[in-house]
Amino acid sequence: MKPGKHLLLFLLIALCGRAQAVENTIKKVICFTTLSQLTVEVSFAEAIAKTEKFKIQLKDGDNYVLNGYYSPLEINDNKAVFRIGNLKVIPWQPSNPQLYHFIFSSEGSLPVEKKIGFRIFESRNGHIYLNGKPLFLRGIAINPPGRGIPATVEKSRAFAMDYVRYLKSIHVNIIRIPNNETWYEVCDELGMMVFGGNYGSAVDGEKPPTDYDKAVRWYKEVAYADIASHPSLMIYAMTNEVAYSGPKGEEWNRFLTHAHTALQKWDNTRLYIGNAGYGYGKSGDICDLHRYWGWYYNSPFNFINIRDNEKIIPFKKKVQPITFTECVGNYTGPSGAYNLTPDHKNPGSQLNWTGHADWNDQPRLADEHQAFTLKTATELFRRLRPLNSELSGIFPFTIIFYNWNNVQHFAEMIPKPVTSQIKKSYQPLLVSWENYTPNVYTGSVIEPTVHIVNDDDNFGDLANALFVYELQDHSGIAVVRDSFQLPPVKYYETWKKKIPISIPPHLFSGDYKLVGMIQSGQEILSKNHTSYYLSTVDQTSLPRHTSPILLYDKEGNTLRSFSTLKIPFTSITNISNIPVNAVLVIGENSADNHLKQQAAIIRQFVKQGGRLVCLRQNSLLFPHINSFVSVPLKNVTVPLDVPSYPPPPRPSRNGIYVNAERPGHPVFAGIGREQLRVWSDYTGWDETKTGFPAVYPVSDGYVPEHKQDMAQMAVLGNYGVALEGIAVSEIFDGRGSALVCGMDLAKRTGLDPVSDRLLMNMIGYMSDRKISHDKYPLITDKITWGDYSSEKGLLTGVNSGLLVNAVPRVPDNNSSTIIVTENGDRFLGGPGRFNTRPGVQYVAYGRRPFGPYGLRGFGNIPDPVSSNNGIGEGFFWCRLPPGKTKCVTLVWNQAEVPLTLTVTTNNAETAKKTIQAGAREWVNCAIQGEEVKVAFSGDRRLVLLQTEFQ
């Protein structure tokens, strides 16, 4: 061998030996910092002497902050701890993420180098503090990596930099991410705080651990070891949503309490959440909750309950910061529409908030509710701090980008509209409007309250600023403008003022924005708005062919309402000799014992062709309705917004976001879907008062006692999860009908133009003898099942038994297989994954005979009443043009075996056909008459795609 080769071989052997020495000598280095102290924990492969010295360096650019040799203060199990204090360093904080170059050297080893920062994150008196300053956490919980983006992209430094920069640009100051070194380094550099650690339901594979000390070592050496040196990491998760009650809950609490005590001794520069979402702060430093108010239970207004800890926590809590590290929900997919994940809470939630709107409108409506829920949750958390000073942070768990699976650059993700709302609601210096009268008349006076919340990123006070407000029309033109000088607002404090604003009477009806701005000189420091629907005084009058209107009103509110709206009526106190051509109106909360005693007369009046309008009745009076309507109804008594968890059973007594099941019906003339969401409060309520504002259009909803009685009902408006609750319906009996309304109308008269219009419409519809009253929708075209517009209100709630079938749109880079369960649910790869794979959109594609079924648990998941034989059923009623003799339905068998479908019409004509595996085939059944009931029965894996009458 040549001499040069001998030397090369020697060098290679030496380098390999040095690499081996590095691997065997220093196993892990973790740095913990405060504002002036550095603690270094080093794990060695072999025992070291306490007198041995190691070189520790700290550099700011080319300047040394620290450069010397140090002996460990303590040694335990080959682990050495070094502690150096009184360092002159600049603190790391989001607005100035100062980093230092740390180097640890051991003789015979390559040095270990890290970027570190100095900061302290702690809890004091129920507040979160960063570097001695109180801090509100403005978080986002659903982020890459691990969300379906190609791994080479989402784990790249360029992608992480662009992503985190964007979130900072919309004022997010903390995110939840998995353990990934690249992402943590980027967060360190850009000043993005992080909530990380063990976000799972097991600790070292156990639920819960039995060997506490072994589990604590797992936290230190596995779950937290790789992230603990990062200054951006502020909160450790110990577990997520594990049991919190019962024997298992007690086991978890004992373990987490023990582990928290041990971990605080190890690292007390950060805060710990013991049981994220469910633990109520029993273990850990933060009382953290997961509440999806405004998604699959309750409404966004339930966040009002956070004013009072006793409302949301079922015991007297410790003095601790309160965070919601999951909330909002409203999971929209790549199309922007809600994701209809099968066997899940998402489909019923979609119906709650976007109803049976046309699928072309679904993305916009979903975007609007997602933004409304986020705005309500985040801004209430911030402006209610004077009432509950422990409110310290909120992390919406919601999907804020359209594209995931196939992006190659961050720019391709495309932010959803909700990000614009985040940017407004997360402004460090926040303008937030308290507005519970969204619908008003022109010429009236509104009195919104403006809140100023100072969470300045540089911890500065607000001084010498002007507040400017404008009422703007749809073109952005200011129709009202004024301003006033703001008083000083110190950092982390709030200020508010009620502002009376006279609305000019000459404005046209439409949507307006009340914009508020904080201005310093020519600079706008903050800007936000609240929305109004303004209407001119409704000149709508009752039809020319109006029947006599007889009003029975014991409470008096309906009488005053009719007088204000100039509805011609005769007030009566007895029910006798009612002309058959009259309209009998039972006023709100007036279905008293007298009416119950006269039920036979009322019932006969309707049967002979009379029209009855029964306005909303409270839970004490509602049962009396059943004595004079032909369909037994059940009043719902549980309120929508309750703080308890889990929430009470559905449907709720009151509700928002009414779905016009027959939007072209005369009852909804001139009223759009958006105007049926939230109505104006008539009580003068504000956020310092107990309870809730009266903003719920539905106050006393109901359901049929028996589903088969839906044959006699036209459900005009419904509400709630899976549209279970009924807001207004027409019940047919003989030649007449009764309109039963559960909506809160009379007390809003003169205040809310939408409510007034609806009341006028109902009276006009029932009193016009020339209007046709149709029990069933008229079907003149093919029905594409799952397409709400083509279904024309045939199916309401869970009553029909026909369940929307959802299929996944498979992204290009997804290699998962399609799975079809025995109940017919179709998944890409497996159940769930709506949040871990947000790039997979589940869309409506037909309906399945699934009933009878209900909704299980508070997750509102469709569940067959009987699932033993796999056979489901469903039905609907409709009207047809003359001459139709045949019902033809296209059926898809998505199973791998032949399946049989039976079709029955009017309980007389029957057709049965076996559909081959994977095939789409037509099933024909004869029909007779112009009012038809069509029933389907078959395996739940069968999908009805289209029905046509020929």
Rounded Cα–Cα distance for residues 203 and 212 (Å): 10
Cβ-contact 798, 855 below 8 angstroms: yes
Residue (of 678, 661, 676) closest to 724 by Cα position: 661
At 532, the pLDDT band (50, 70, 90 cuts) reads very high
Across 313-342, average pLDDT: 96
Q: Are strands 736-741 and 725-733 parallel, antiparallel or unpaired?
A: antiparallel
What confidence tens digit (pLDDT) does each residue in 898-940 have? 999 999 999 888 999 999 999 999 999 999 999 999 999 999 9
At residue 22, the pLDDT reads: 39
Residue (of 496, 415, 455, 476) closest to 133 by Cα position: 455
As a whole number, the mean pLDDT across the chain is 94
Is residue 834 over pLDDT 90?
no
At residue 542, the pLDDT reads: 66
At 541, the pLDDT band (50, 70, 90 cuts) reads low
Rounded Cα–Cα distance for residues 315 and 336 (Å): 40
The phi and psi torsions of 949 (rounded to 5 degrees) equal -105, 125
At 18, the pLDDT band (50, 70, 90 cuts) reads very low
Residue (of 323, 379, 289, 396) closest to 645 by Cα position: 289
Rounded Cα–Cα distance for residues 1 and 8 (Å): 11
Cβ-contact 344, 863 below 8 angstroms: no
Cβ-contact 55, 105 below 8 angstroms: yes
What confidence tens digit (pLDDT) does each residue in 751-769 have? 999 999 999 999 999 999 8
Residue (of 707, 728, 650) closest to 874 by Cα position: 707
Rounded Cα–Cα distance for residues 294 and 115 (Å): 42
What confidence tens digit (pLDDT) does each residue in 777-792 have? 999 999 999 999 999 9
At 20, the pLDDT band (50, 70, 90 cuts) reads very low
Is residue 506 over pLDDT 80?
yes
Rounded Cα–Cα distance for residues 925 and 510 (Å): 48
Is residue 543 over pLDDT 80?
no
Q: What is the DSSP string of 310-340?
A: HHHSSS---S--EEEEEE----B-TTSSBP-
Rounded Cα–Cα distance for residues 133 and 568 (Å): 65
First to last CA, the chain: 95
Residue (of 84, 82, 80) closest to 43 by Cα position: 80
Instruction: Give pTM, 2 decimals.
Output: 0.95
Across 146-170, average pLDDT: 96
| pLDDT cut 90: percent of the chain above it | 89
Report the chain's C-alpha Rg in angstroms.
Answer: 32
Is residue 434 over pLDDT 70?
yes
What confidence tens digit (pLDDT) does each residue in 593-630 have? 999 999 999 999 999 999 999 999 999 999 999 999 99
Residue (of 642, 614, 650) closest to 743 by Cα position: 614
Tokens 């106050």, located at residue: 699
Rounded Cα–Cα distance for residues 427 and 417 (Å): 16
Cβ-contact 585, 551 below 8 angstroms: yes
Across 249-266, average pLDDT: 97
What confidence tens digit (pLDDT) does each residue in 79-105 have? 999 999 999 999 999 999 999 999 999
Tokens 């045939």, located at residue: 794
- Tokens read off for 255: 């373990």
Q: How many CA atoms lie within 13 A of 9 on its CB side?
A: 6
Segments in 275-399 forming alpha helices (H): 309-312, 346-354, 362-383
Contact partners, residue 313, CB within 8 Å, separation at least 6: 280, 287
Across 343-360, average pLDDT: 96
